[in-house]
Structure 1
Amino acid sequence: MTSVIISRIQRGCTCFGMLSNVILIQLIWYNSPKSLGVYKYLMIYIASFELIFAFLELVTVPDMFSNDSAFFVIIDPRKTMLAEGFCQMAALIFCGAFAVSLAIFGVQFAYRYFVLTGNTSMTSKSYILLWLGSPLLFAGVWTASCAVFLTRNQFVDTVLREEVLPSLGYLEIDRLAFVGVLFFPRDGSVNWDSVYGMILCSCVLASTEFIMFFFAIKSYLATRRLMGSLKLKRLQWQLFYAIVSQASIPILFMQIPITAIYISTLFNSSSPIFDQVQAVTVSFYLATDALPTIFIVKAYREVLLDYCRCIQIKIVWPRKRIEADSSGAPT
């Protein structure tokens, strides 16, 4: 019963997130202030990524398993819309999307800082590929680490057969697509593949966090020192608050829960409740991350509110039947 409720919450949140990102892309493309310049394309890039991430979550239907020192992201080929041969690649891409979701806001803060400080060379169209490609570089390192160190080995296969496959109707292990860690097998040894993989992923995570916080602080200080019209200052503050709100959502709904899971696995004390929480919070991230930009940036908010005001809902009550019989008139 719990799994059914969680699945419905995931599907509902994911579909809502896709709709909100489609709306945001339309608002950015048609209603952005002209002063945004190239930054408009970076905003569309972020919204498009979140749309793709939501679509991937919808078609792969990933499950999560957490217990003791093990944590796996699992794709059951019988539940997904993808061909079975693509399931393992989809699992790796899904995990790589997690890295992009964190790196993308560091890049966004860095771009905002260069705009605010008047660095026209770094914010010109000739550097747009650098800004768009940087998150993919972090995702590539993360995905490669998962592919090399966080897939099957003898220790992981044992846990999958004994603890995971029975809940999946004893699916053949070769058909199961997954990425995950197992630090301490039951024989008392250490699974060094998981250790190496988590070290690399932690380095990627620390790098993205450093870039994000470093340029967030510098962007805040640059915005405070900004000279210009009141309208320009208001727009820059709106963009800053929108980025801060957007960046806080993946930290709250993805980074904090996944960090708690990995810490618990390191202490050999993870619990199945963690994977249920993580499954729901990922969907919450997808559902809410577009909303700050839509409602904080005045140009987008006003267009959306004006559209909502134009929608008229008319309630038509059924007419009461005329009691013609009471007058004796024929019907």
Structure 2
Amino acid sequence: MRWTNFIERVQIITAIFSCLLNILLTFLILKKSPKQLGAYKYLMLYISWFEIAYSILDVIVSPIIYSKGALYMIIVVTKVSTLFSKHALLIIECIWTGFFGTSMGIFALQFVYRYFVAVGSINLKYFKSYRIFLWMLIPVFFGAIWGTTCYFLVSPKTEINDKMRNTILYVFGWNIEKDITYIGPYFFERKPDGSIEIFYDSMIGVMILWAILTTSFIITPYFAIKCYLKLRQGIEKKKSEISRRFGNLQNQIFYALVSQTIIPVILMHIPASL
């Protein structure tokens, strides 16, 4: 239990840090960003506000991950909550998972936009005025599918309660029906006679989540690499015409682009797909 208390403190500290940084970023975007930034200004604001909401939600949920055999659980302790009922916390937990799905869409969206800017695509007209907000709905759609899938297909089940009741009581000291709620796939159960019962709702749920992950995993690196190559090609062509300072700036942009691609792939796409 000491470990879970430590994790809770870390979540609170990092959430506060995230909120402060994104509030500062919001101020800089609104007050200091150049007009030439165009639609990307609203996209950055969208991401900053999303990160603030995600941080707050993460503190409310304070998830605990536990797995055993063919079962994977994201646990939320309900007995300490005075603000939300158990069912309300289940809904909040599903919204929290939906935010992860939304983040997958955001990664893809920002790299699509960056590529259009890099090549001067005529498709940039679809990001102007109110259309940018329609693009922003795509990640929300990803998140809605993710959260809805968790609520209907991998939410608490009698079979999971029966299997994990003693384990949860022994490991955490919690009553699985009264003290916690959870989401998580339960793929199959081996019966005493050796037969296997497959839970198809969990299988279908995980397949849907995999589809979202795969979509983001393909789009994000694809457009990031194309953007990188296009910018690099442009610099090589104009190398003699640009100053060393500008060249260094472009190199920094390249490195930032690479890191912004690798970090979510390593820390989010790959772990979520394992």
Classify the TM-score, shorter chain: 0.7 to 0.9
Per-residue Cα deviation, 1:168-188 (whole angstroms, up to 9, x for no partner):
544361663321011122423
Worse-superposed segment, 235-244 or 149-158? 235-244
Structure 1's 245 and 20: CA in aligned 2 closer, same or farther, altered over 3 A? farther
**CA shift for structure 1 position 199:** 0.8
The structure 1 residue matched to 2:128, chosen from 120, 124, 128, is: 124
Partner of 2:100: 98
Alignment of 1:1-331 (within 5 A): 1-80=2-81, 82-84=83-85, 85-118=87-120, 119=122, 120-171=124-175, 173=177, 176-187=180-191, 188-226=196-234, 241-260=255-274
Q: Which amino acid aligns with 1:125?
A: S
Take 1:159 and 1:198, find their aligned partners in 2: how far apart are those partners? 20
SS in 2 for 1:185: strand
Structure 1's 31 and 238: CA in aligned 2 closer, same or farther, altered over 3 A? farther
Take 2:254 and 2:82, find their aligned partners in 1: how far apart are those partners? 38
**CA shift for structure 1 position 202:** 0.4
Structure 1's 256 and 203: CA in aligned 2 closer, same or farther, altered over 3 A? same
- Structure 2 gaps, min length 5: none
Take 2:258 and 2:96, find their aligned partners in 1: how far apart are those partners? 24
Q: Which amino acid aligns with 1:257?
A: P
Structure 1's 27 and 232: CA in aligned 2 closer, same or farther, altered over 3 A? farther
Question: What TM-score does the superposition give when structure 1 sets the normalisation length?
Answer: 0.70
Take 2:255 and 2:34, find their aligned partners in 1: how far apart are those partners? 17
Take 2:82 and 2:44, find their aligned partners in 1: how far apart are those partners? 29
SS in 1 for 2:127: coil
Could you say which structure has the larger radius of gyration?
Answer: 1
Q: Which amino acid aligns with 1:133?
A: L
Identical residues among aligned pairs (%): 32
The answer to whether the 8 A contact 1:60-1:81 is kept is: no
Q: Which amino acid aligns with 2:214?
A: A
Partner of 1:291: none
If asked which structure has higher relative contact order (CA below 8 Å, sep 6+), I would say 1
